[in-house]
Structures are given as C-alpha cells and as structure tokens.
Amino acid sequence: MRHRLLLIKGCFRCLSCGNEITITQQNKSMVAPTKCDKCSGKRFKLLTDKSEFKDLGPLPLTEQPTLEQLKKELQGSETDIIYEVE
Ligand SMILES: [Zn+2]
C-alpha cells in the first residue's frame, strides 16, 4: 500500500552554481527557495535523497499524487523536479 509522505526538510540544489539550500517546511504545501543566496539563481532541483520526509500513513486510493509518487518517478527516470521562481 502506498503511504503519504510529508516533506519536513527540503534540500534544493541551485541549477546555476550547485549551491545546496535546505528549507524547513512550515506548511503542507512545499516551499522552494526564492533565490540562490550565492548566485541569485532562480532554478532549483529538489534533492529527494537529502530531504527529510515524514510518513503520514497509508494513502487512500482516492488521494491525489503525492511526494512519494514524485520520488518514485524520480528514481525510475531521468526526470528532475525543477522549480522556477518568477
Ligand atoms: Zn546558485
């Protein structure tokens, strides 16, 4: 059975300079960095291996796709989660 995962700490890597930024999540919606503090870059990739997730228990089948699914898709493909800030 699939489990719902809540992102506790998100580790993001700047796509411009490789700087890693860890953001402790306050809410249930994911918070990404607004800009890189080293190069002011605005594109980030979520590093699921370095992020912390909390297991919220089994996922009802009616739920929308979760971070766990995104994580699985990442492991099974070359796709990256990219954040681009306006
Ligand atoms: Zn940067």
Answer CATH for 3-84 from 2.30.42.10, 2.20.28.10, 3.40.50.450, 2.40.50.100: 2.20.28.10
CB within 5 A of ion ligand 1: which residues? Answer: 14, 16-17, 19, 36, 38-39, 41
Tell me, in angstroms, the distance from the centre of ligand 1 to residue 59's CA. 36
State the pLDDT at residue 78: 44
Q: Where are the domains of the chain?
A: 3-84
Tens-digit pLDDT profile for residues 17-26? 999 999 998 8
Q: Is it the case that residue 81 has pLDDT exceeding 60?
A: no
Q: How confident is the model at residue 86 (pLDDT cuts 50, 70, 90)?
A: very low
Percent of the chain residues topping a pLDDT of 70: 69
Burial code (b: 16+ CB inside 10 Å, e: under 16) for 18-57 equals ebebebebeeeebebbeebeeeebbbbbbbbeebebeeee
Tell me, in angstroms, the distance from the centre of ligand 1 to residue 62's CA. 39
